[in-house]
Amino acid sequence: MVSIKAPSFLAMAVTALASPSDVTLAKRANPYGIDVSGHQPSVNWKTVKANGIVFAYIKATEGTGFKNPEFNSQYTGATNVGLTRGSYHFARPDVSTGAAQATYFVANGGGWSSDGITLPGALDIEYNPYGATCYGKTQAAMVTWIRDFSNTYKSKTGVYPVIYTTTDWWKTCTGNNGSFGSTNPLWIARYASAVGTLPNGWSFHTFWQYSNSASPNPGDANVFNGDLAGLKR
């Protein structure tokens, strides 16, 4: 996730960072979640649930050659305490096609089931920690890569993946393409007191990663844009 990294909701642009207490008070009625990866190897899921966390996204894969070694234990742990959970894939458009990575993701924990507790898989498409911000792709090529991933995931699972990104990255690397808002739920990352301006094509967000610290819980802090019944739907 970034290291900065469907009802209507706040969309005003702000620049001042909010304290965790400010954000908590502002969104008390909405379901809270966390996202974790191999960097959080020992999650106490019972404590996480006791702290009020309702859902979790867990990193499954990256590119076509990396599996989170903690994925199975994390996913099972979240399931066993009754959290709604899903998995995410860290995109590497520089190493293989979108179709190849969607296939790898689905085969290694990224599937979906209409069981009422599984969130659609998420495509984490963001700043490149290994090199060029846009992975060496033109804006048009990046849009094609994302669409390739999205359509392949849909063909294999029956649902479109959630897209996790920042507005800045989306503008820079896709030219603020507006063609995904009608199909893919948006998971926006912005560490501030409001979600701010959304990428083109989305009139609302589904998830908001509002902090890179979910303390006292592990991982990053997220909130669902709706109520618990909406999350389950």
Q: What angle do CA 73, 47, 52 make, to 5 degrees?
A: 110
pLDDT given at position 28: 53
Known catalytic residues? Answer: 35, 124, 126
Residues 24 and 53: beta-carbon distance below 8 Å: no
pLDDT given at position 6: 34
DSSP states of 155-220: HHHSSPPEEEE-HHHHHHHHSS--SSTTTS-EEEE--SSS--SPPTT-SS-SEEEEES--TTSSSE
Handedness of CA 102, 4, 74, 22 (dihedral sign): negative
Q: Domain segments of the chain: what residues?
A: 20-232
CATH of 20-232, one of 3.40.50.1000, 3.40.190.10, 3.20.20.80, 3.40.50.10490: 3.20.20.80
Tens-level pLDDT at each residue, the chain (233 residues) = 754 333 322 222 222 233 344 444 344 579 999 999 999 999 999 999 999 999 999 999 999 999 999 999 999 999 999 999 999 999 999 999 999 999 999 999 999 999 999 999 999 999 999 999 999 999 999 999 999 999 999 999 999 999 999 999 999 999 999 999 999 999 999 999 999 999 999 999 999 999 999 999 999 999 999 999 999 98
d(C-alpha 66, C-alpha 107), whole Å: 12
Separation in Å, CA 102 to CA 4, 63, 89, 149, 159: 26, 9, 8, 5, 12
